[in-house]
Amino acid sequence: MKKSLAILSLALLILSWCGDSVSIVEYNDSFVAVVKECTDSTQELFNVFQADDSTIDFIKEALDSSINACKNAEEKAAKLWDFEKDSSLKDAVVKLLSSEVDYLQKFWSTSNYRNIDDITDADKVAYNSVVNELYAAEESLNNKFIALQDVQAAFATKHGLKLE
């Protein structure tokens, strides 16, 4: 029992000595993994969407799945801790994931118009409005991604993390 306690104490001492460099890498990697959950799901959605044999129901199922994956990722990111009272990386990731959910929800609204052979003038107006919202959401998403890259670079510099 004394040996186990001594080994545990030594391990804790070693971890606390090098903990900052390990925890910053783990912290960053946690956010990378959370974002990847969403982006992987979104990539799968677009693979389904672009497949010639995809039905509207199959696309809607993939959309639901992707929206849920991104919402879950957003919730996970929001629950992660702040690194040395610095929430900049977490905040940027949450904003990106929120923007991704918004984009996917806008994308969801376009699926009602897929494969419609005879579209009315009213439907054309509604579709154009949805597409304009989708483009705006896409632009916002792209801006959030660029902002995240900038925040991550500043965060890495501030905390001594070397990004790959």
User: What is the C-alpha to C-alpha distance for residues 110 and 51, in angstroms, rounded to an integer?
Assistant: 16
**Confidence check: pLDDT of 8 > 70:** no
User: What is the C-alpha to C-alpha distance for residues 36 and 96, in angstroms, rounded to an integer?
Assistant: 12
User: What is the C-alpha to C-alpha distance for residues 164 and 151, in angstroms, rounded to an integer?
Assistant: 15
Give, for 13, the enclosing helix (H) or strand (E).
helix 2-50
Nearest residue to 151 via CA among 140, 137, 161: 161
The pLDDT mean for the chain works out to: 84
**3 state SS of 102:** helix
Tens-place pLDDT, residues 50-80: 898 888 888 889 999 999 999 999 999 999 9
**Confidence check: pLDDT of 18 > 60:** no
For the chain, what are the domain ranges? 23-159
> What percentage of the chain exceeds 90 in pLDDT?
57
Nearest residue to 69 via CA among 102, 115, 23, 38: 38
User: What is the C-alpha to C-alpha distance for residues 71 and 86, in angstroms, rounded to an integer?
Assistant: 23
The number of beta carbons lying within 10 Å of the beta carbon of residue 66 is 25
Tens-place pLDDT, residues 80-103: 989 999 999 999 999 999 999 999
Give, for 163, the enclosing helix (H) or strand (E).
none
Contact 94, 78 (CB under 8 A): yes
pTM reported for the whole predicted model: 0.80
